[in-house]
Amino acid sequence: MVEQKAQSDSYPVKIVDGYPQLRLYGRPFFAHSAAFFYNRIPRDEWADSLVKLKSMGINTIDLYIAWNWHEPEEGKIDFDGRSNPRRDVKGLLEMLDQMGFAVIARPGPVILNEWRNGGYPDWLLERPEFQMHPAARLDGHYPPLSSVSASNSEEASRIWLSNETHLKYTRHWFGDCMRELLKDRQATAGGNVIAIQLDDDQAINRANYNGPVFWKYMSTIADYLREAGATVPVYINPTDMRVSAAGAQHNIGAMGQWYFNFAGDPSLRWEDTATLQFYTETLRTQPHFPPMIIEYQAGWYGTGDDAYAKAADKSNTLLSSRVMIGHGLRGLNYFPVQDTLYPAGYEVPWANHYYIWESALNLARDERPRASAVYRNGRLLAGLGAELASTHKAADLGLVYPISSFDQPSLTRDEILKISRAQMQIQQFCQLNQLAVEYLDLEFQPLEHLKRHKAILLPVFDEATLRKVEAGGREEITAANDPSQNRNSRTSTSTQPGRLRLSELAQLKLVDYVKSGGRLIFTPAAPQGEAIKSILNNPDVSIVPDFWRNVPIEPGKTNREELIASVQASSVEFVSRLARMGINRRVKARISYESASGSGGESVGATIEPNFITTMLVPDSPGSKFAFVGVTSFDSNKALKINLNISDPASESGASRIVVPEFRLSARESMMLPVRLPLTEVRGEIVYATAELIARDIANGRIRMRLYSQASAEVALILPHAPQGAITIDGVAAISSYNPANKLLRITIPDRIKIQGKPDQAGDRREHEHDIEIVYEKGLPELSIKNSRLIIAEDNQVQVEVANRTMSPLKGILSLQIEQGLKHSNSNRDVELKPEEVRRLTFSLPISEKAVSGDSVNLKAVLSTDNNQTTYRSPKVSLEILPRFDWELYPVSTWPLRPDTKQKINPPLIYPKDDQAKEAEVNLKLVNNSEETITLSRSSMLVNSLPVKLGKDEQYMNTFIYGFPAGTRSALHPFSISVSDGRRTETANVNFVALRKGEAIAFSCDIDRDGFDDYVLENEHLRLIISPRAGARSFALINKRTGANLFTSAGGLRDKFVELDPADPTRNARRKRGMYGTFNRPYAAEILDGMGKQAVIKLSYQAPDAYPAGVNIERTVTLKAGEEFFTMDYRIKIPSPEAADGIQALWSSNSIVAGDPAFSPAEFITAAGHFDFKTATSRSVDAASGLIVSRLDNQNSFAIIWRSEQMNTAEIEMKEFSSFVNLKFKPFIDGLNSYRLVYYCGNRTFDEIRAQSSKIIGR
């Protein structure tokens, strides 16, 4: 193992008593992180998204820095947004620093992330040394070695290392990233970057062998980062890595991945905890790096062929995250919190243009059901993150995971799966018995880690053992890889004698452990090995049978009653054996189910309950004496009644116990309960609570606690004396009792329905949260902060009022403690007050001009008396950061991406007030945020308005009327308004749209603000938005009468080809080259007619990869005035006779909202009759009929009309939430091929549309 050098206090990882902690600015912190896909979010919305994330308790931001996004052409690097606003990653990093976020950077060189070419530059991949097929490159597939590395890390690494071009350019790219972005922002340099990732999805899958060549490649690119100035930890991000601790000898960490596996059930189940614990525990075996999941989502992303991602139970996020936190996880990165939208052309073929996970927030930052769990975790960690970040799981038993001690190259996939499956069965058996285990890696962890445990359990895997184990355990993989590609994994099921023998190092470590007084338990037999033989007769070495054999780990295979019965006898025997060794479980829970009436309940026997999990977290530092107990219920229907008996963390011997009274845990609920949490300021502690504590504060003689509970609960505190005043819950007198003998104060939180509390004055109390206030001492000096906000680019004067309520003088140092995210600072001044004097003191708090509007700063005033004997504190206040003035334009302009998601259009599109487009008006709202009166001047392209004076918080609405030039032939009229207060000038931009009744218009505008123009065709009835750079697809066909968008984010107007390259060796049909047509190709766009009786645009693309010899595509889209339909005329030119092979043909594919829950029930009508939408079915339509109509609801109909002589086949392909209308034209003939389609969007019936179809298609 590489010797770990002593690290400075600024290094983001600190080893405390053998446990690695995350640190920033000198403090431990739990990384409650979110992946922030900035290239999928408009630049002007970054700040709003980050403010929202911070309000949810996110403290860390994970950034993929895509090489091909920032260097789209060789040598033309853009980190500041000069070529596209979304490339301003320098500005983003400045925002993150201002807001106090920690940052994890992922610069590649490959980032995958369902991003075009995995982030690798197209101009590099076209070189022959990368051996990438041109069609695959144009499709945006990942580099070829990305799929190889999933199954054969050694081979992929060998090829990467042999590619001098790759190494040379990677070195340059890393140098650019470090020099321009990261070097000076590292935590080691006083910044906020805490870790940098190497590549993406390396070392995934436990069957994958990561040998010397792999580590040479990882070390090589790690060296590139380090030579460019990287001084923070570097890491890889495997899913289910075989040996997570293997990077220790290379000074490379591992952060894991976990995604929910649906397995036919949208709800997380008890069996899923096998993987959750396994992943957490294997990461915890790293002696040098804290355990963190860098890609976490209790769901999966939406595919490129449907409108929604698969729906998972909303409770999955809370349950899965709390299970991992309870097992000792120290960082969790939601991947992502917010769904986002690709810039045109940067998808991979299998991903949706709307990068949907159905995550906590949609594109517009509206909250979805998963948001509740993010808030729950965020609020817990915001209040108690430092304590949780410095704790580890209290294990009753060490559990060796021996896989690293076997000969790695010779292990077969079958052996690995059997070994890991048996390991998880043992782990789950212990979990059923409330025995907490800690995984041990005999190769990479020191002997001291073994000595933490009174006893260690060693599973022994030989040929006889493995024969009894099924290899059915599933391998967890990411979206970048397919199980079918594990072609290089050894699958032999035979085991050579002695090959699964522990290494000599491992054997000697076990011998030393026993000699030091540890107890070693083998199951189901003694291992082979010369060193092991020397301790087999030692009384502290024993063998137990395979008690764990019947424990299932596959979801859906557990019958609760059968499981309990199958392990009952062996549980009693095993737990009794451990008790005789002096091992007493840290947490014992007696559980019963709550009956329907809410009282009594049926016994579930002993402590075995598959639907319940509990663990204890204790401090890394031996001097701290608090704990947390996590409790989680997986039962979907009934609440659990729980009685806890827990080891007292303050007991040196561990013999003392704390009995927690019975409490109720709701179905599919999880809480983290405090135990002996100190209240230092009053020399007290919270002994226990049967509710989740999320904040505590002591100020002005009052103890304030915020707790979460869905049911009645109890809080027990030890306080030196009885409270001197009232105790309230949510402002209402509480039921409480104080025992002066044991100094115990008990407070009862009644059921929420019984609380008639006062409204939450702060406005931030969420559902099931309660505020307890204890007036503990009266007559003390009182401190309060009087400001209500902070102003950007000003030296704010913070007023701290100190009221000396005593009859004695008060003298000391007054400190203003400032917290902005994870950043903290102090400002001090001397203070002296006479008896009963009240004084306001002023502190200077400059706010940078780069601060983010809507961000907040937490302030607390602390007065330390001269002798440091007494400290007084103010309540913590959170002050919003605002500009001196705000402005907003009305009406707000949006476009409907999905029925539940609208994206703002900025600058807004403002339409005329009258049919003849003479005038349009826009309203400008102004707000003064400063403490003083300000004067605002307003100037526009037309007129300079008189200055307006606004007092504090005063608002003013200004209307601007724009007169369109008479006879204008331009559809789009840009307009700007400048607003200034003499210090700061802001510009509000507007686009007035000259749409007259009886006309149609076409114009270009960056509707989604991705840096690439969209093209809009519009009349009084419909609006069609086309994205030329996204394969000229349309993501919006809007019925203006209803506001409904009839296309989906999979896209309408998709151009595909019937015949794929038969030489393509790709086995996965969904990853075939050309499978998705020209979905991401940049079409040239030209407006032929922009205003009048019709609007016309032309779109063209040369498709060189269309099998067999390429084609030239030209599409003319025409929208006539007053009509509810538009026409699409194709001209397909065949460049050579061989391209007309009698098979190849154009395929028009259109994803529509038929099947979306918002339009249910949808039906289809054809000449042959009608049929309802049915998930996952396809229906052929007679191509000769020339018409398909989808009646979406009573107000919206969609139809496509074609010329029957041009069409070969027609089909409705119904997905889960949408439908494709697939139209395949007749095979190409040599020369020019012409086709016409007509798209209808309105409210007509099938008969009405059919009656007009011949006339419409003939125009």
The pLDDT of residue 666: 97
The pLDDT of residue 632? 98
> pLDDT digits over 502-555, tens only?
999 999 999 999 999 999 999 999 999 999 999 999 999 999 999 888 888 887
What does each C-alpha distance from 957 to 883, 889, 922, 924, 1190 come to in angstroms? 18, 10, 10, 6, 44
pLDDT at 605: 37
Residue 607, pLDDT score? 74
pLDDT of residue 759: 55
| pLDDT tier for residue 7 given thresholds of 50, 70 and 90 | low
452 — pLDDT class (breaks 50, 70, 90): very high
Least confident range of 809-818, 1031-1040, 1250-1259: 1250-1259
pLDDT of 566: 85
Closest CA to 1106 of 139, 124, 122: 139
Average pLDDT over residues 623-639: 96
Q: What is the DSSP letter of 182?
A: I
pLDDT tens across 962-1020, in order? 999 998 999 999 999 999 999 999 999 999 999 999 999 999 999 999 999 999 999 99
pLDDT on residue 554: 80
Residue 602 has pLDDT above 50, yes or no: no
483 pLDDT tier (thresholds 50, 70, 90): very low
> Cα(953)–Cα(930) distance, rounded to whole angstroms?
7
Helices 272-284, 316-326: crossing angle, 10 deg rounding: 40
Q: What would the mean pLDDT of 70-93 be, rounded to a whole number? A: 98
Distance CA 529, CA 585 (A): 32
Domains of the chain: 13-390 (3.20.20.80), 394-474+489-584 (3.40.50), 586-775 (2.102.20.10), 782-879 (2.60.40.10), 885-993 (2.60.40.10), 1000-1258 (2.70.98.10)
- The pLDDT value recorded for residue 492 is 44
Is pLDDT above 60 for 363?
Answer: yes
Q: How far apart are CA 368 and CA 356, in angstroms?
A: 12
- Across the beta sheet with 713-718, what order do the strands follow? 391-393, 612-619, 627-633, 670-679, 684-689, 713-718, 744-749, 735-739
Phi, psi of 686 (to 5 degrees): -90, 110
Q: Provide the β-strand partners of residue 506.
A: none
> What would the pLDDT profile of 1212-1225 be if each residue is shown by its tens digit?
999 999 999 999 99
pLDDT, position 484? 37
pLDDT for 655 equals: 85
DSSP annotation of 835:
T
Residue 1206's φ and ψ, nearest 5 degrees, are -95, -15
pLDDT of residue 497: 56
| pTM of the entire predicted model | 0.96
- The mean-pLDDT minimum among 95-104, 150-159, 603-612 falls in 603-612
In sequence order, what are the residues at sequence separation of 6 or more whose Cβ sits closer than 8 angstroms to the Cβ of residue 899?
1044, 1045, 1153, 1156, 1157, 1158, 1159
Q: Where are the beta strands (DSSP E) in 427-500?
A: 437-440, 455-459
Q: What percent of the chain has a predicted confidence (pLDDT) above 70?
A: 95
Dmax over CA atoms of the chain, in Å, equals 104
In the predicted model, what is the mean pLDDT of residues 718-736? Answer: 97
Check residue 561 and give its pLDDT: 86
> Worst-scoring range by mean pLDDT, 542-556, 635-649, 868-882, 951-965?
542-556
**Are 249 and 305 in contact, with CB atoms under 8 Å apart?**
no
Q: What 3-state DSSP class applies to 358?
A: coil
Residues 6+ away with beta carbon under 8 Å from 882: 789, 790, 791, 792, 853, 854, 929
Calpha distance 374→54 (Å, rounded): 11
Residue type for position 826: N
The secondary structure of residue 1185, as a DSSP letter, is G
Residue 111: closest CA among 37, 61, 192, 183: 37
Mean pLDDT, residues 1057-1078 taken together: 91
Average pLDDT of 321-325? 99
Q: Which of 120-134, 652-666, 696-710, 870-884 has the lowest mean pLDDT?
A: 652-666
Could you read off the pLDDT of 949-961 as tens digits, one per residue? Answer: 999 999 999 999 9
Closest CA to 724 of 746, 706, 702: 702
pLDDT for 603 equals: 28
Residue closest to 211 by CA, chosen among 249, 163, 171 = 249
Q: Are the C-beta atoms of 327 and 393 separated by less than 8 Å? A: yes
Residue 472's pLDDT is: 56
Cα 396 to chain center, whole Å?
33
Q: Is the pLDDT of residue 42 over 60?
A: yes
**pLDDT of 280-310, one tens digit each?**
999 999 999 999 999 999 999 999 999 999 9
Residue 495 has pLDDT above 70, yes or no: no
Average pLDDT, the chain: 93
> Which tokens sit at 1016?
């809009």
